[in-house]
Structure 1
Amino acid sequence: MDQDSLPLVSVITPSFNRVDLLPATLNSVLSQGYEQLEYLIVDDGSTDGTWEWLNCVDDPRVKVFSHPDRKNRGQAASINLGLRYARGRYVVILDSDDLLAGGALAAHVQVMENTPSVGMVYGQGYAVDERAARLYKLFPSSHQEESDPNRLLLDCYIVSPGLCMFRKSVISKIGQLEETFRAAQDHDFVLRVAEVSRIAYSGVECFYYRKHRGTISANGQLSRWKNGFKILERAAVRYPYQRSTLRRRRAVLYFRLGQVYLEKGMYLKAISFFLTCSLLDPRRAIAVGLKGANRAEGAF
């Protein structure tokens, strides 16, 4: 397909105090070789020089935004601001500390153009260290997408929206990200996409999740799992999930809370969550906890 006839892709990056990591993220987007691209970067009230650095970027594809009075309003609000200005047929949401793999945009545009019923496509990703050395891949070679919201709710295997390309028309249908969530809003978002459209797995290497000292703390994990219960309640109202899916998901959330409180040394509270988990689905919760112990912090 001729470059001029390709559909426009909007890449959106929310950024807060990432002046040390953002240059590599930006380079991974601008070096894609995909010409029909706009890169919207929303600064969320940074105080480390990010805003000043962004305003020195000299590339017509890059558009820089901030909230009124440069206030800090959170990641979801920053992404929503980007979405309001995005003109692309397709949207990629990339965190400011992560990277796109070369050719990711072109590969996923082709999937979307060839399968109009797909509202979201995602590919293979790797966790990498601060030097971008690979640590492990995010999906096994046997991974397949069933396009079943029950599986996505239960297993929460899409650890970051950076893996994905979304159809803008589907985003318009489901609405913006939930701004009251300061954690786990990405999981809620992809669930809502899966509830109204097909999702597909390309298998294309497309994304690198950077593990570094700034990744989610124990307090961040606590907010994430507490929000998990809110997401579960809302999902149960929106979509006819299987009752076993809801019960088993609740078990995992209790298990995860138990892990957080155990790490904090709050042993009685941790035990109470582990006991609740054991009444719901002990085998699965423990299996998921052990499997995810050393994996991406964003994983649900």
Structure 2
Amino acid sequence: MVSVIIPSYNRIKYIENAIASIEEQSYQDFEIIVVDDGSTDGSFELLEEFSEAGRISLYSHENNENRGQSASINLGIMHATGLFVAVLDSDDYFAPDKLARQVAFLEENHNFGMVYGQGHAVDADGRFLFKVPDDNHAETSDPNILLLDCYMALPGGSLIRRSVFEKVGMFEESFRAGQDHDMALRIMEEFEVAFLPEVAFFYRKHGESISANGLETRWRTGMEILERARKRYPYRNRTIRKRKAVINYRLGQVYWKCGQKRRSIGYLIASGFLDPIRAGKVLLGSKS
């Protein structure tokens, strides 16, 4: 059985579509676990109706607290009874054969801990925008490549053996951004990972800009993810240096847009020293 976990927070417009995309799967051996993260838009009451109808198992945090996506996913994993775990954001939806094809792969390839497919980004109305990763992508199971560039469309694109979490631990609840990258790295450091070159799910790009504080949090969390990864696994020094360059560059961009020019320049200079080739490409306009 597959345990499909949906962490939900204020997604009344999309949550039923997410649930329906699981119910309509060609593979029907699943349970749907929804963890509400303190919603205030009426979606919790809607989910209670689905729970009473037997469509889902519904959980929430103590006192209906908002504890973040990682804590919600972890609570779902604690209640999961399937051999495999899939995570679906509450505004995304699965492709019809997602579970069938990924379950079949893991049942036939016991040395793999996780399999993932392609994600199609769509707008709020479901219109196609772009693919992640692209059609030519090939998985090497090299954590160095994943550390440098989180090329996976997560979490909805993947299927993970539940036993994997016993080895690598749960999602990091102190992270309010980047927790998917962190988990994917920890899995790849311990297990083989496979890519199936077919659409697995659709994820919505709402067009709502992330605040400057949100972007700063994302990239500062990225630095913490990097430091933890460096201590866990023998990553190449070149990989560590190039990833630091990317994070410093992104932080420099955030502060520049906020008008903190002096602070921004310090990060941009650090990025240039860490990866001068990339810095040269940025200056020449061949890399953003």
Please indicate the TM-score interval, normalised by the length of the shorter structure.
over 0.9
TM-score w.r.t. length of structure 1: 0.90
CA distance in 2, matches of 1:60, 1:179: 29
Map of 1:209 onto structure 2: 203
Map of 1:11 onto structure 2: 4
Per-residue CA shift, 1:104-147, capped at 9, x if unaligned? 01010011111111111111111111111101111222110000
Per-residue CA shift, 1:75-121, capped at 9, x if unaligned? 11111000000111111111111111111010100111111111111
CA distance in 1, matches of 2:264, 2:221: 18
Aligned AA for 1:40?
Answer: I
1:264 to 258, 267, 274: 258
CA distance in 2, matches of 1:186, 1:100: 18
Task: Could you tell me which runs of 5 or more consecutive residues in structure 2 were left unpaired when the two chains were aligned.
Answer: none
CA distance in 2, matches of 1:208, 1:292: 27
2:214 to 220, 238, 244: 220
Cα drift, residue 275 of structure 1: 0.7
Aligned-residue sequence identity (percent) comes to 47
Cα drift, residue 33 of structure 1: 2.7
Map of 1:56 onto structure 2: 49
| Map 1:26-41 → 2, pairs under 5 A | 26-41=19-34
| Map 1:15-94 → 2, pairs under 5 A | 15-57=8-50, 59-94=53-88
- SS of residue in 1 equivalent to 2:254: helix
Per-residue CA shift, 1:255-281, capped at 9, x if unaligned? 111121222222222221111100001
Cα drift, residue 291 of structure 1: 8.9
In structure 2, the CA distance between the partners of 1:281 and 1:292, relative to structure 1 (3 Å rule), is closer
1:182 to 166, 176, 181: 176
In structure 2, the CA distance between the partners of 1:133 and 1:85, relative to structure 1 (3 Å rule), is same
CA distance in 1, matches of 2:279, 2:89: 28
Check if 1:246 corresponds to 2:240: yes
Tell me if the contact between 1:148 and 1:194 (Cα under 8 Å) persists in the aligned partners.
Answer: yes
Map of 1:118 onto structure 2: 112
Cα drift, residue 159 of structure 1: 3.7
- What's the C-alpha RMSD, in Å, of the aligned pairs? 1.9
Cα drift, residue 156 of structure 1: 1.2
| Map 1:142-161 → 2, pairs under 5 A | 142-161=136-155
Name the stretch that deviates more: 256-265 or 203-212. Answer: 256-265
Task: Could you tell me which runs of 5 or more consecutive residues in structure 1 were left unpaired when the two chains were aligned.
Answer: 1-7, 294-300
- Residue-pair matches, total: 286
In structure 2, the CA distance between the partners of 1:168 and 1:215, relative to structure 1 (3 Å rule), is farther
Aligned AA for 1:23?
Answer: E
- SS of residue in 2 equivalent to 1:161: coil
Check if 1:283 corresponds to 2:283: no
TM-score w.r.t. length of structure 2: 0.94
CA distance in 2, matches of 1:169, 1:215: 37
Map of 1:173 onto structure 2: 167
Aligned AA for 2:45?
Answer: E
Map of 1:231 onto structure 2: 225
In structure 2, the CA distance between the partners of 1:43 and 1:20, relative to structure 1 (3 Å rule), is same
Tell me if the contact between 2:83 and 2:161 (Cα under 8 Å) persists in the aligned partners.
Answer: yes
Aligned AA for 1:34?
Answer: Y
Per-residue CA shift, 1:131-185, capped at 9, x if unaligned? 1110111122211000001111011112421111111111121111111111111
